[in-house]
Structure 1
């Protein structure tokens, strides 16, 4: 596929959402996730429990944009550094880490993802990865969150990916618009 023939951001279809972030302590945010029956995997729990995961005392709104890796100009996929750099070059920003939990609470009608066997070391079908600052280079520590709905259950899941990981062209990411 030739990049010149593909519509790239901002001239491609996007999903834009306004997300209110902040105003809750970490404990209140976790309780709210539990009240809405949001499930978390071990990586998600580890990430949200870490001292580097902080919440804002003040509520504020962010405009987000959901794009595929291909929409950013990578028809054959790319690593996280390439994806984040291209997004920055296009005027998009990384999301605060807490945005993932607030988005999960506000996006309760996410379409069902494929629940069959996911291929290891790939983003699951139907998942949306939140582009956020990576807290540590430690490959054993989660790098961020993704949203998923499987068998009717809503998930806020953490993921690990080293700097060599290649995201597929159709993997979805959420960035903040400036």
Structure 2
């Protein structure tokens, strides 16, 4: 279960900083964008972590294919604001020991928060993923076009 505290944008950014959460430029873009909706009400969500393989895609799939399948299974996409709260609460995420750079692929050990993009532009971040590397917790934004294919072992968070 993830608790969304109903913080305003300034309070949320301060809390991320106080929690020693690192952000990449894409995450900063998403958090600063006026389309990034923040609820002023405190609420909680039950989440589930699945791989593309768990969703029935042993060879991987596009974002649309996976999100459609998840919804057919009764899962929902996460509100975008869930990602920073999940990052602050998921402090025991296993560390990425590989540390390898994988271009145009989700980094090893990362967990992508399944959410609707706030922009259709390919150059604007589509969402967030969580990563733990070099002893530091990261909330990172990512860009991907509609043709991007996720690997079978890529991990995602959905709402139950």
TM over 0.5: yes
Contact 1:115 1:150 in 2 (8 A): no
Contact 1:69 1:83 in 2 (8 A): yes
2:136 corresponds to = 153
Per-residue deviation, residues 28-67 of structure 1 (Å, max 9, x unmatched): 0110000011000000000110001121111111000000
TM-score, structure 1 normalization: 0.88
Aligned Cα RMSD in Å? 0.8
1:7 corresponds to = none
1:40 paired to 2:40: no
Corresponding residue to 2:51 among 68, 85, 101: 68
- Once the 2 structures are TM-superposed, how far is the Cα of residue 117 of structure 1 from its aligned partner? 2.7
Q: Which has the larger radius of gyration?
A: 1
Provide structure 2 residue ranges, at least 5 long, that are not aligned to the other structure: none
Contact 2:122 2:145 in 1 (8 A): yes
Corresponding residue to 1:171 among 149, 154, 160: 154
What are the residue-to-residue correspondences of 1:22-171 with 2, within 5 Å? 22-171=5-154
Figure out how many residues of one structure are paired with residues of the other and give that number.
160
TM-score, structure 2 normalization: 0.98
Per-residue deviation, residues 69-120 of structure 1 (Å, max 9, x unmatched): 0000000000000000000000000000010000001011111013533210
Give 3-state SS (helix, strand or coil) of 1:76's partner. coil
Instruction: Give every structure 1 segment of 4 or more consecutive aligned residues whose post-TM-superposition deviation is greater than 6 Å.
Output: none
